[in-house]
């Protein structure tokens, strides 16, 4: 239900009993919050690769703006406690990190997560049993759709990325694909399954790899046995895909990969990939890009995106990277949900407050009649004022952040490729695909 509905209910109760007995009402705007004057978000990111720090910078950009302009709930600042999901098993590591945050946080509201594996660990082991709202900016695994009422994400599930990649492969003229997948990784295996479902009989083989795989040579020979038109690299962790690409570089001396395309998943849109011998991927085949990939990426021409990009560069000297806009928007969505929840529930009952915040996470991202449409470039003071007056629909740097009943958000996809030579490599956008 929307905030207006809450207000109508409150007015009906007020008509029946005295105003002073309504315990769920928001405190008067002149009332000050009880100390300590902070609420906390736990942030669990892959700090073992460059995306971790870049995404932390993105969410901090939003939180810094919010705290500098009055905070939330009548004067609370939002504190971020950041932990890494790195480890042999990201699912286990992330759940442990979440429990560590719970032990060290003051007024913990919920969690921000990144990868699908780490998100699964947090949601199933911590968020669901503890009733902590959780938002991911980049967890795309299909199996996370509707996994919990306490989980939502600002990105489409893997089936959409698989459709985009398969569509582009067909357009280029690729008819056979061999898939190299990272074994025991929730995201990598899920994306591979979705791609196979879409591309069908054109997938000639799937071969699973692990770091320091003792059977590397045999597995590479199996992967290349049918001379596929393309190799789809469905991997998440840089130490796995860098080793894989370097192994291909070595085998290229025996097997000619000159006319082999490379299909890249969104996880490979990372500076870490340039640690590998990506020169085997560079160039064109019959006028078509030899390598291409797809990732959820916002329209860079919107005012909201440009505002975020400027703020990120101003604060951190950083250009917008993979899923950065989503993590920026998560900061605003959590802040709006906290602001709206504080109208009805105080922090003296944190479980009830978290439940109310969780309800508002999806409410503030979807439009209903009478809502104010708010953008980050409006400034937090104006956004907060709109939230205090009535319902809001947040439209962010990543685009329309509508979170559906399954916890998913449909966003544009960017087709990218790796370009460059002599060790100077970069990503270049090719085209946008809209859902």
Span 231-276, pLDDT tens digits: 999 999 999 999 999 999 998 777 889 999 999 999 999 999 999 9
Two tokens, residue 289: 């890009």
* Alpha helices by DSSP H, 69-154: 90-104, 116-122, 128-130
Contact assessment for residue 52 and residue 46, using Cβ atoms and an 8 Å cutoff: yes
Of 115, 118, 120, residue with least CA distance to 144: 120
- Residue 277 sits at φ, ψ, to 5 deg, of -80, 70
Pick the CATH number of 158-298+412-433 from 3.40.50.300, 1.10.3720.10, 3.40.50.2300, 1.10.1380.10: 3.40.50.2300
The DSSP secondary-structure symbol of 123 reads I
Amino acid 423: pLDDT: 87
**Taking the model in full, what pTM does it have?**
0.85
Give the DSSP H or E segment for 158.
Answer: helix 158-172
Helix, strand or coil for residue 48? Answer: coil
Two tokens, residue 285: 């085949």
Low-confidence ranges of the chain (pLDDT < 70): 1-34
Sign of CA dihedral 28, 34, 37, 41: negative
- Residue 52 sits at φ, ψ, to 5 deg, of -60, -55
- Residue 8 sits at φ, ψ, to 5 deg, of -60, -45
Superfamily of domain 3-155+323-400: Response regulator (3.40.50.2300)
Q: What is the pLDDT of residues 90-117, one digit of tens each?
A: 999 999 999 999 999 999 999 999 999 9
* Alpha helices by DSSP H, 252-349: 303-316, 324-341
d(CA 192, CA 233): 9
d(CA 189, CA 182): 7
List the chain domain ranges.
3-155+323-400, 158-298+412-433
Domains 3-155+323-400 and 158-298+412-433 share a fold: yes
Please count the helices (runs of H) and the strands (runs of E) in the chain. Answer: 13, 17
Amino acid 1: pLDDT: 43
Q: In what order do the strands lie in the sheet with 392-396?
A: 372-374, 392-396, 399-400
Two tokens, residue 224: 């290349």
Q: What is the pLDDT of residues 325-362, one digit of tens each?
A: 999 999 999 999 999 999 999 899 999 999 999 999 99
d(CA 356, CA 340): 9
């Amino acid at each position: 239900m929307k905030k207006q509905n809450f207000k109508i209910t409150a007015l009906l109760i007020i008509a029946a009993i005295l105003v002073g007995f309504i315990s769920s009402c928001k405190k008067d705007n002149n009332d000050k919050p009880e100390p300590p004057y902070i609420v906390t978000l736990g942030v669990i990111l892959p700090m073992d690769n460059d995306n971790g720090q870049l995404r932390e910078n993105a969410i901090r950009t939003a939180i810094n703006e919010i705290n500098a302009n009055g905070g939330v709930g009548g004067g609370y600042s939002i504190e971020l406690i950041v932990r890494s999901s790195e480890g042999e098993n990201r699912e286990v590591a992330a759940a442990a990190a979440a429990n560590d945050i719970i032990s060290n946080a003051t007024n913990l509201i919920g969690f921000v997560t990144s990868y699908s594996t780490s998100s699964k660990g947090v949601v199933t082991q911590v968020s669901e049993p503890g009733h902590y709202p959780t938002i991911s900016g980049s967890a795309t695994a299909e199996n996370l759709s509707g996994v919990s009422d306490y989980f939502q994400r600002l990105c489409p599930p893997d089936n959409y990325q698989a459709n985009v990649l398969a569509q582009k492969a067909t357009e280029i003229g690729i008819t056979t694909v061999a898939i190299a997948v990272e074994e025991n990784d929730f995201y990598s295996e899920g994306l591979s399954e979705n791609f196979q479902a879409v591309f069908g009989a054109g997938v000639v083989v799937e071969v699973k790899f692990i770091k320091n795989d003792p059977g590397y040579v045999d597995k590479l020979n199996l992967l290349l046995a049918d001379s596929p038109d393309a190799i789809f690299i469905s991997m998440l962790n840089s130490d796995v895909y860098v080793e894989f690409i370097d192994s291909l570089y070595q085998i290229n001396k025996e097997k000619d990969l000159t006319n082999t395309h490379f299909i890249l998943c969104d996880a490979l849109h990372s500076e870490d990939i340039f640690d590998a011998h990506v020169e085997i991927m560079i160039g064109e085949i019959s006028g078509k890009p030899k390598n291409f990939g797809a990732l959820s990426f916002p329209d860079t021409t919107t005012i909201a995106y440009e505002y975020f990009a400027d703020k990120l560069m101003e604060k951190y000297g950083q250009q917008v990277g993979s899923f950065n806009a989503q993590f920026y928007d998560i900061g605003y969505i959590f802040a709006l949900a906290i602001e709206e929840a504080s109208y009805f529930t105080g922090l003296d009952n944190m479980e009830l407050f978290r439940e109310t915040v969780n309800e508002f996470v999806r409410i503030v991202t979807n439009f209903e009649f009478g809502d104010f449409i708010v953008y980050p470039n409006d400034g937090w003071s104006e956004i907060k004022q709109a939230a205090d007056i009535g319902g809001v629909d947040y439209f962010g740097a990543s685009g329309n952040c509508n979170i559906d009943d399954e916890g998913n958000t449909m966003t544009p996809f960017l087709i990218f490729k790796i370009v460059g030579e002599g060790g100077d490599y970069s990503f270049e956008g090719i085209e946008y695909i809209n859902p």
